[in-house]
Structure 1
Amino acid sequence: MTAQTPPTTPFRDPRLPFAKRIDDLLSRLTLDEKTGFLHQFTPAVERLGIAAFRTGQEALHGVAWMGPATVFPQAVGLGATWNTDLVRRVGEAVSKETRAMRARDERVGLNVWSPTVNLLRHPLWGRNEEGYSEDPKLTSAIATAYTQGLRGDHPTYWRTAPVLKHWLAHNNETDRATASSSVRPRVLHEYDLRAFRETVEAGATAGVMPAYNLVNGRPNHVSPYLREHLRTWTDEELLVCSDAGAPTNLVDSEHYFDTHEEATAAAVLAGVDSFTDHGTDSSQIVARVQGALDRGLLTEADLDTAVRRQLSVRFRLGEFDPRYDPYADTSDFDTPAHRALAQEAAEQAIVLLKNDGVLPLAQDTRIAVVGLLADECKLDWYSGTLIHRSTPLEGLYERFGAERVEFAEGVDRVLLKTREGTFLHVPEAQDATDEVRGAEGALDPALLAGRTDLPPLTAAAVGTELALVDWGEGVLTLRAPDGRYLSVAEDGHVRASADQPGGWIVQETFRLEPHENGHLLRHVGTGRHVSVGADGVKVAAGNPEIADAPEIFTLITVERGEDAVRRVTSEADVVLVVAGNDPHINGRETEDRTTLRLPAQQERLLRAARAANPNTVLALTSAYPYALDTADLPAVLWTAHGGQAAGTALARVLAGDVSPAGRLPQTWYADDADLPGLLDYDVIGSRQTYLYFEGTPLFPFGHGLSYATFSYGGLSSRVEGETLHVSFTITNTGDVTADEVAQLYTRAVDPVVPRPRRELLAHRRVTLAPGAETELAFEVPLRSLEFWDLAQGRWRLEPGPYELLAGASSEDVRLRTTVLLDGEPSAPRPVLERGLDGADFDDQSGVEIVDRTKTAGDAVTAAEGRTGELVYRACDFGAGATRVTVSVAGEGVVELALNGGPTLATLTSDASDSGPYAYTTLGAGFVAGFVAEGVHDVHLRLRGPLRLAHVGFSG
């Protein structure tokens, strides 16, 4: 194509702006073709030469679900690096591998559904591993870096197009498709929206994915926040992709709409542009869109809006300009640079929680390494397939020499005896097809998962000794001596046929249930008991009339894990206990944790190691925090599952080749009692996260130790225009080169409303040689210190003193100073002019926020229809008010008082049959002609299931 030979159609002309090209292409598409574009799997338009397209490619910490790829640390581990440059480079590597894999396999998509920006508000959330931090500032900094790497640095074309997950206030797997997060305005703006906003405003985000849950009683997939907030943050066309199956949930599980046509239309009008539903089958979504068009619920112009956003992404990805796409020939895949980056990221993610001097280890140290994760390199649901792997044991062998390392897994070894006196027997792998073994005859676990041609377990005179691992809450895995996990396939037989537990429904977990004089073995995935028959071991059939009798097993312990630990630890110089979780068990997508405690089996192993050798180091490898007693442990480390280089990285940190500098991205609480309810999203009212928590954490947000020491000095600050300039110096006063993560926090000294105890403003990770000093300078926009003023319904900078805190964690403050800021003075609520929106409360108890209508607005109601209390502070009644009106729907009572005094007005609604959105206005005068003058706190009591939308006052 040349300037002299223009393309035959404008949408193919790279000289034109994307907007004009999209206009042209839209004008050429038929209504049916536009309708087809609304499904995740967009068909080709052959008459225009347009290829098929699909939204969605998982790439949370490497390309996932598409085969071998470089696997980086889990997202929470990337958050623990506090290193935006590193994370940007990880995103760049992931996007290059996405492009390289796309060149080989067209199923690999360039619209990547990453990163997860949900804040790690609650550490029991099953998907904790997917987020970066509990803090919105750190989350947005890391997410922005990752999206910038994914996007690439070309001014026009994108290497991949990242979509942020999961909009909005999504921190529970329990009832995740039906639960509603009650999010008051201050929490909405200051917490949940903030992480998304700052990432979108940075300019490398192609869109968002709504979450399964509801917010304030309204499903996220029909949220007005998409229009009212998200799309106001950028001039780019943002693509909103539904989560899988969520469009159907609007009717089938949430019952928010009566028909799928209504639900689909509402989602499109709210801003959903691509429907991820029914897998590759687009027919049902297409039929629903067509039905909505036929009923007049949608117009072709509505479809144009959605299709335009999709095409905007496709044009930015260079699809229509292959000759000009700078990334078209990207072939970087599993390169030495990517392997080195995976190791660097794993090293930087390691957090040294405690060290009484036992670390780093000398080269001649004799090490006993124990624990069920000591020789594991665990993957999670969003991991790619490992090309390389390094377990802690392998890393220690490599770094210290195999002759100096002793190993005991420390799990119970058991036999399962049947009522007939036989034992469960695992046939050897060679009993199956030859493909199970690799070129050198070694077992190839990757070829085992899901196989049904392997022989099932049998009952035999001589049993197979199984490794029994209790992952907590009675959930077990059973593993054959050659490493194969017992698993149940679709035919119901139990085989040793999995390299690891995994899958959407894990088929490798069991429970032992006491029964008579033995145990029943229940398979968790199917919920059925294991039976033993002539055709092998299987789970009992679902039909009671033909069900095989469950087997009653006698559990014979051949060796207890604690005994194995004692055998290898007593003569060692140091014991390393590697504990933690399996990312597919007891805390994962679809399943929240129930406790912060380590599983009992791992606690017993840790106690046994400590009793045998006081020099016991605990290395926690987990997707989330734990609560544990570290008082008698000389050293404790934590890392998320660190990807392909996890073992090498841990060994290098233990040896002192690398000084640890990871920092906790979330609070580690000391006890379950410190946690709010899983569904309590009011971080302010419930004093959640380091921002508000008033207890003593086990380890605070931002905590992490080093093999070096650092001194801080010279803190100074000044305000110029709308920017706060802060600087201080850091000096490495230790004797090794090390990284330090300098953290700058602020605190409003005398706020008019509850503000964070301290709040992260900025951070920087720097490398310093012994004796080296550096000055760090930060430019902080003053808007970073604003709060959401309920009286004004907008952001406001409160005037007065603000403390600036510089240090090594949120609690390890080394320097502090106070800066006096000008701002806008507070003003009471002008209730005579504006009244009070029900959800704009300052305090509440027993109240939840619900949807005012299905399309917009909030209301409040007493939780479970009982009694709730609301407080609205500093309400200005001017010269006086004698009457109150309320806009309510449903049946119940509203009682009003001022300043906690007696009830001044009672308003009763009996409209119980009119529906939750049929609002009526009720009025009443204050008792005995009372006149409210001046400024007061308004107290409301709600009784019954009514919804309160608004309160008004008049003279």
Structure 2
Amino acid sequence: MSTAAVSATPHFREPGLPLAQRVDELLSQLTDEERIAMLHQYSPAIPRLGVGEFRTGTETLHGVARLGEATTFPQAVGLGASWDESLVREVAEAVSVEQRAFHHHRPPAVGTGRTSLQGWAPVVNLLRDPRWGRNEEGYSEDPTHSARLGDAFCRGMSGDDPEHLRTAPVLKHFLGYNNEDGRCTTSSGLRPRVLHEYDLAAFRLAIATGAATGVMAAYNLVNGRPCHVSPLIEQQLRRWAEPTGHELFVVSDAEAPSNLVDPEHYYEDHAESHAAALRAGIDSFTDHGEDSSVTVGRITKALERGLLTMDDVNLAVRRQLAIRFRLGEFDPEHDPYAGIGWEVVNSPAHQELALRAATESVVLLKNEGLLPLPADRRVAVVGPLACTLFEDWYSGSHPYRITVADGLGVQGVEGVDRIVLRTADGRALTAAGPDGLLTVAEAQDSDPSAQFDLFDWDLGVLTLRSAATGRYASLRDADRRVAADRDQPGEWDVHETFRLEPDGDGGELLRSVLTGRYAQVHAATGAVTMSGESPTVAAGLTRTVVRDGVAEAVAAAAAADTAVVVLGNDPHINGRETQDRAGLNLPPNQDRLLRAVLAAQPDTVLVVMSSYPYALDWAAGHVPAILWTSHAGQETGRALARVLRGDADASGRLPQTWYQGEDELPERLDYDIIKAGWTYQYHRTPALYPFGHGLSYADFSYSRLALDADRLPQDGTVTARVSLGNRGERAGMETVQLYVRALDARYEAPLLRLADFRKVRLAAGEWTELEFRLPVEQALAHWDVATGAFTVDPGRYELLVARSAADPVLTARFTVDGPAPAPRRAGGRPLRAVDFDDYRDAVIVDAGRTDGDAVTPAANQAAQLVFRNVDLTGAATLTAEVSRTAPGPAGLDVYADGLLLAALPVDSTGDRHTWTTVSAALSHQHGTLSELTVVLTGEQRLAALTFAP
């Protein structure tokens, strides 16, 4: 190891040298200890080399987050609703420019070092289940749509300079991550078709183009193996990146390295687990906050025990250094982004972009002629989100807020009850003084200090906002006091949520959702603390409603020409990171408010402002106009007003299916979208509002869909041309959606699959012809389990031009020519258990800690695996690779087109990762089978079957 003195101008600081040479030069001058220290999120400075400290990761999902005021753009799901790649790229560019400004001009707000230029965004996890707590963070339920927007975001973040990055975008979260409840211990079962066609597909584009510079591993397990030791990091991600000339810099999620031992119990100790993660491809460990000593100690122990070598460490450090060089750290005088000034943060240009992004993300779900609203229409804006714009955990702090009421220029009515809470002796809970501390004091019902606006977010979860301070009651950790001093919920641990629980005597008890403790009153001072461990010691309270929220909203609606009811969620409550949603329905109190307002004012517009879809069955049947927007940032209200008034077209389209309320959704942890029936691709019950749905004020018409060929080879390209016109009297934007489907599929093909899309603006009366080129190998390929590769089957296909996945307007058929797929030859190579065509009651698990998949029966079930079109010619014996840990009977039976071919007992191997083989002669010989069926009974794992002469 070289530790020689550094020259006045070290070679690694010479910008004319190749990147790899500069990286190697700097690496050669680092000691082992310095290299190991670089594996932690907080990499220390090395003064002797003039190398600064480095921190991985700044959250940049839809604005620079957690560092103070910065331009806030729509949530990712809202950007997904824009279906506009150029817009998403512009948003990402603005975010990265502001990230640069924070890096260059602001002292650190969190942790050590300057703001990182590595951006932990975008999230390309697919929105398979709308109940996912982090639904707001993804773009779409469709892999093509999500991949293209993710690629656009990465391009905007990284910039156009061939040598330097503006920022370094990191895709999140790899892989199969779509549930919060138990997320660190649950396993996402991804059979090969789902893995390759769906989950991996969302990540591939941005990596293959070089737009993404890194990936963050997910908390969950996939097929029984934690994502932080997934072989797919090397086998897929880094293989895709090879043609770009740059390696991916892979980071862990926070605390996930420690999770490998506890709670996942996948490894015996942390030295072993950290060694496994590093060898699997994790380059940076985000663990134990700023304390790098824990990670350094574990890696050092792994080296001492021979679990790692310094070559393993060097690989990871080299990838980090390459990113740092590309970010201009070692030649700032040549960095084209070094001169970005503080004035870019929330600049007028970024404000205008925020408005455009928020406007384009508004989706008009229903309109029976009520919209757009005439300029002279008197409007009442009511509802719990009428006067509020919420932030979320990954948004920036709003520099300003334009609420819906602000945007429409009216005084909003929130429609929530204003209450007074009194103790048994008649005193009231009050929030008085500059600190807003809650105390019990003598006060009249009319005293604002005793009044609280009660926001009911469903499931008994409430927030209380003081009428006196205008701020939310919040639990203080230090002394368990409650103070009405918070602008809104916003911390990782939400301190602003409470419950009012019946006390059994007609009163109520105030309880903190965060701690579970009850409110108590100090007898001498009247101080209120959330310190009661049980209901028996809690202070009994009586609620008095001093203002009926529904009645006030109804009165405002009745006095206007139109009511705009703004409902939705607070992104920190009942559906957020660490907490999945309980269901899809609106909170009952919001539903009650909507029905009451509609009864008083038939001309009612429902605006849903939310992080996820709702089941709006009743509203869809009764309310004349419905719009949806995500929490769209600082300009949300102005954007909605533009759409409501008709100053802008309603151009958003849904990025995910809005299911009916009575539709029985699949199990949350069933990640097999094919068999479970997730998303528009496989869900057979009609949606309330389908993927891609969205109405416009313009009148678009499609005509003359033409293909340049009706027959083409498997490696060909079909060109589709379609005419689009605006027959209306106003300009508008249409999202042209192209879908494909296989008509002769030998596998369970999607009902439809998005192949391409384009957003087009047309003036009134304008027509245009659009051309789409669809390479067959991209648009029509499916993962063939028989060959372990993507393939295009010969046969008939249909291309559909559609307004949504449920509204095709033009179709054209064509045929792909080529040889018919050959039967799957079972001889000559093992038949992997996971490469089934169909299954029942089977779970995919890990065959080993480092690689391989196996299949095991679901709990107390007999698993059935079906392999179709299998050639058994010449096979006389069968050998199965199995493992099991439990005593007792277990068997493996193999059937050829329904006839028993072999029965094999399976004995315990002592460990699930200890494998053995069992063999049997086949009862009779076969040629090509329609179905080879394998039945597994008892606790066991099957990795592969081998047929031999």
Output the TM-score relative to the length of structure 2. Answer: 0.94
Tell me the equivalent position of 2:240. 233
Cα deviations across residues 82-121 of structure 1 (Å, max 9, x unaligned)?
A: 0000010001111111111111125311001000010001
Determine if contact 1:513/1:521 at 8 Å carries over to the other structure: yes
Determine if contact 1:882/1:930 at 8 Å carries over to the other structure: no
SS in 1 for 2:412: strand
Of 641, 660, 671 in structure 2, the residue corresponding to residue 651 of structure 1 is 641
Cα deviations across residues 378-423 of structure 1 (Å, max 9, x unaligned)?
A: 11001111112100000000xxxx4xxx532111222212122222
Of 837, 848, 857 in structure 2, the residue corresponding to residue 842 of structure 1 is 837
Determine if contact 1:60/1:113 at 8 Å carries over to the other structure: yes
Distance 2:565 2:527 in 1: 35
Distance apart, 1:540 and its partner CA: 4.3
Of 742, 767, 773 in structure 2, the residue corresponding to residue 773 of structure 1 is 767
Distance apart, 1:459 and its partner CA: 3.8
Determine if contact 1:459/1:532 at 8 Å carries over to the other structure: no
Distance 2:136 2:52 in 1: 35
Tell me the equivalent position of 1:437. none
Tell me the equivalent position of 1:93. 94
Cα deviations across residues 606-651 of structure 1 (Å, max 9, x unaligned)?
A: 0001111111110000000000121111100000001010000000
SS in 2 for 1:674: coil
Determine if contact 1:859/1:947 at 8 Å carries over to the other structure: yes
Distance apart, 1:888 and its partner CA: 3.0
Of 711, 725, 748 in structure 2, the residue corresponding to residue 731 of structure 1 is 725
| Corresponding letter in the other structure for 2:201 | R
Asked if 1:33 is matched to 2:40, the reply is: no
Question: Alpha carbons of 1:799 and 1:537: their partners in 2 closer, same or farther (altered >3 Å)?
Answer: farther
Distance 2:707 2:147 in 1: 24
Determine if contact 2:128/2:678 at 8 Å carries over to the other structure: yes
Asked if 1:47 is matched to 2:57, the reply is: no
Distance apart, 1:895 and its partner CA: 3.2
Distance apart, 1:897 and its partner CA: 4.0
SS in 1 for 2:197: helix
SS in 1 for 2:399: coil
Of 144, 155, 165 in structure 1, the residue corresponding to residue 162 of structure 2 is 155
Structure 1 moving runs of 4+ over 6 Å:
none
Distance apart, 1:539 and its partner CA: 4.0
Asked if 1:281 is matched to 2:275, the reply is: no
Asked if 1:521 is matched to 2:510, the reply is: yes
| Corresponding letter in the other structure for 1:458 | V
Within a 5 Å distance, the mapping from 1:97-112 to structure 2 comes to 97-106=98-107, 107-112=114-119
Distance apart, 1:304 and its partner CA: 0.5
Within a 5 Å distance, the mapping from 1:594-613 to structure 2 comes to 594-613=582-601
The aligned length equals 915
Tell me the equivalent position of 1:448. none
Asked if 1:696 is matched to 2:709, the reply is: no
After the TM superposition, which of the residue ranges 495-504 and 32-41 deviates more from structure 2? 495-504
Cα deviations across residues 286-333 of structure 1 (Å, max 9, x unaligned)?
A: 000100010011111111100000011001101111111000001222
Tell me the equivalent position of 1:910. 907
Tell me the equivalent position of 2:802. 807
Distance 2:131 2:818 in 1: 39
Distance apart, 1:250 and its partner CA: 0.5
Question: Alpha carbons of 1:543 and 1:701: their partners in 2 closer, same or farther (altered >3 Å)?
Answer: closer
Asked if 1:581 is matched to 2:586, the reply is: no
Determine if contact 2:362/2:652 at 8 Å carries over to the other structure: yes
Determine if contact 1:425/1:462 at 8 Å carries over to the other structure: no
Tell me the equivalent position of 1:791. 786
Cα deviations across residues 226-275 of structure 1 (Å, max 9, x unaligned)?
A: 01000000121110010000000001110100110000000000000000
Distance 2:15 2:819 in 1: 49
Tell me the equivalent position of 2:219. 212
Tell me the equivalent position of 2:813. 818
Of 844, 859, 877 in structure 2, the residue corresponding to residue 864 of structure 1 is 859
Tell me the equivalent position of 1:317. 327
Tell me the equivalent position of 2:612. 624
Distance 1:250 1:71 in 2: 35
Within a 5 Å distance, the mapping from 1:628-643 to structure 2 comes to 628=616, 629=618, 630-643=620-633
Distance apart, 1:903 and its partner CA: 4.1
Cα deviations across residues 824-878 of structure 1 (Å, max 9, x unaligned)?
A: 5312221122232111112222211111000000011112354322212221112
SS in 2 for 1:684: helix
Distance apart, 1:577 and its partner CA: 0.4
Asked if 1:373 is matched to 2:385, the reply is: yes
| Corresponding letter in the other structure for 1:423 | A
Determine if contact 2:879/2:917 at 8 Å carries over to the other structure: no
Distance apart, 1:565 and its partner CA: 1.8
SS in 1 for 2:328: coil
Tell me the equivalent position of 2:735. 741
| Corresponding letter in the other structure for 1:797 | V
Of 464, 482, 485 in structure 2, the residue corresponding to residue 494 of structure 1 is 482
After the TM superposition, which of the residue ranges 807-816 and 575-584 deviates more from structure 2? 807-816
| Corresponding letter in the other structure for 2:871 | D
Question: Alpha carbons of 1:484 and 1:824: their partners in 2 closer, same or farther (altered >3 Å)?
Answer: farther
Distance apart, 1:944 and its partner CA: 2.4
SS in 2 for 1:637: strand
Tell me the equivalent position of 1:441. none
Determine if contact 1:540/1:549 at 8 Å carries over to the other structure: no
Tell me the equivalent position of 2:428. 423
Distance apart, 1:454 and its partner CA: 4.6
Distance apart, 1:41 and its partner CA: 0.4
Tell me the equivalent position of 1:763. 757
Asked if 1:472 is matched to 2:462, the reply is: no
Tell me the equivalent position of 1:385. 397
Tell me the equivalent position of 1:304. 314
Determine if contact 1:889/1:920 at 8 Å carries over to the other structure: no
Of 917, 924, 932 in structure 2, the residue corresponding to residue 921 of structure 1 is 917
Distance 1:669 1:55 in 2: 39
Of 553, 561, 575 in structure 1, the residue corresponding to residue 549 of structure 2 is 561
Asked if 1:345 is matched to 2:357, the reply is: yes
SS in 2 for 1:118: coil
Question: Alpha carbons of 1:543 and 1:392: their partners in 2 closer, same or farther (altered >3 Å)?
Answer: closer
SS in 2 for 1:61: coil
Tell me the equivalent position of 1:571. 559
Of 699, 716, 722 in structure 2, the residue corresponding to residue 709 of structure 1 is 699
Distance 2:880 2:251 in 1: 41
SS in 1 for 2:537: coil
Percent of pairs identical after alignment? 49
Cα deviations across residues 13-37 of structure 1 (Å, max 9, x unaligned)?
A: 1111100111111111110000000
After the TM superposition, which of the residue ranges 27-36 and 564-573 deviates more from structure 2? 564-573
Determine if contact 2:698/2:726 at 8 Å carries over to the other structure: yes
User: Superposition RMSD on alpha carbons, in Å?
Assistant: 1.7
Question: Alpha carbons of 1:858 and 1:865: their partners in 2 closer, same or farther (altered >3 Å)?
Answer: farther
| Corresponding letter in the other structure for 1:260 | H
Structure 2 unaligned residues grouped into runs of 5+? 1-6, 108-113
Structure 1 unaligned residues grouped into runs of 5+? 1-5, 433-452
Question: Alpha carbons of 1:920 and 1:897: their partners in 2 closer, same or farther (altered >3 Å)?
Answer: closer
Within a 5 Å distance, the mapping from 1:61-76 to structure 2 comes to 61-76=62-77
Question: Alpha carbons of 1:883 and 1:154: their partners in 2 closer, same or farther (altered >3 Å)?
Answer: closer
Cα deviations across residues 188-224 of structure 1 (Å, max 9, x unaligned)?
A: 0000000100121121111100000000000000000
| Corresponding letter in the other structure for 2:914 | A
| Corresponding letter in the other structure for 1:67 | G
SS in 1 for 2:934: strand
Tell me the equivalent position of 1:947. 941
SS in 1 for 2:298: helix
Tell me the equivalent position of 2:276. 266
Determine if contact 2:892/2:906 at 8 Å carries over to the other structure: no
Of 883, 895, 901 in structure 1, the residue corresponding to residue 898 of structure 2 is 901
Question: Alpha carbons of 1:76 and 1:551: their partners in 2 closer, same or farther (altered >3 Å)?
Answer: same
Tell me the equivalent position of 1:614. 602
Determine if contact 2:872/2:929 at 8 Å carries over to the other structure: yes
SS in 1 for 2:579: coil
Distance 1:613 1:422 in 2: 40
